[in-house]
Amino acid sequence: MDIRSGRVEKRAIERERKMKTAQTVLITGVGKGLGRALALELATRGHTVIGCSRSQDNLNSLQSQLSSSNHSLNHLFVNADVRSNDAVQQLARLVMDKKAVPDIIVNNAGTINKNNKIWEVPVEEFEEVMDTNVKGTTNVLRHFIPLMIAANKGEGIIVNMSSGWGRSGAALVAPYCASKWAIEGLSKSVAKEVPQGMAVVALNPGVINTDMLSSCFGSSASLYQTPQSWALKAATLILNLSPADNGASLTV
């Protein structure tokens, strides 16, 4: 980040602090990558994070990192697999019992296939991409939208993580592209179903140096921005979304 853009970012954060009270944000796939970086950034800004991950070890290390930085208060981290409708239902019940219904949801959990032509992608690998990226997002929508409508008086923001490959095609990652095109369509459709006062958006995070990018780009993934620098911009964008953004396809 250059000096000028850094100043702009700082002004945006200060404006956000003045305009908004603390928010409760649910982030799926919070154990690593973009989800973890976003959780840490939001916690630093004084917001409450509810996070889920398939890895208890990743959740433990995230909790330790927040504790060491004195940002651990009131966060809730749960070992849950979004691919399982039952697991997401249990998460929703836990959140409701703790009176911690989110103001914002970030459907971030995702995976990608190993580079391969579609006819060479193993069936199990294709199904994992679809189950995580599409069904996982849908499971969260199914169980949390009714909670948000009831608890937040029809208000709330839902961010479904898309991709540049959800708006264009690329060789060797057809399953991933298909899943993210599905997220774009799903988001636009659900945006027409939620009550006025809510917003559902598809968000392309851009190109970031994560494990998923490394699986596609190899060592050249290191040439791209880190999740931490991405989270500075993404947190500001997400926290400033409003009902006017409903149905939009946005990019960090």
Beta strands in 62-113 (DSSP E): 76-79, 104-107
Distances in whole angstroms, Cα of residue 190 to Cα of each of 63, 123, 159, 229: 33, 29, 11, 30
Average confidence score pLDDT of the chain: 92
The string of pLDDT tens digits covering residues 11-60 is: 555 555 545 589 999 999 999 999 999 999 999 999 999 999 999 999 99
Of 175, 101, 178, 186, nearest in space to 139 by CA: 186
0.85 cut: is pTM over it?
Answer: yes
The string of pLDDT tens digits covering residues 201-215 is: 999 999 998 888 788
The string of pLDDT tens digits covering residues 141-190 is: 999 999 999 998 889 999 999 999 999 999 999 999 999 999 999 999 99
Instruction: Classify each residue of 133-166 as buried b or exposed e, where b means 16 or more C-beta atoms within 10 Å of its C-beta.
Output: bbbbbbbbbebbbebbbebbeebbbbbbbbbebb
Residue 149, amino acid: I
Q: Is 161 helix (H, G, I), strand (E, B) or coil?
A: strand
Residues taking part in catalysis: 176
Beta strands in 69-141 (DSSP E): 76-79, 104-107
* Cα–Cα distance, 138 to 165 (Å, whole number): 19
Q: Does domain 3-242 have CATH number 3.40.50.720?
A: yes
Q: Measure the CA dihedral 59/61/66/69, to 10°.
A: 180
Domain spans of the chain?
3-242
**Greater confidence, 190 or 74?**
190
Report the percentage of the chain scoring pLDDT > 90.
Answer: 81
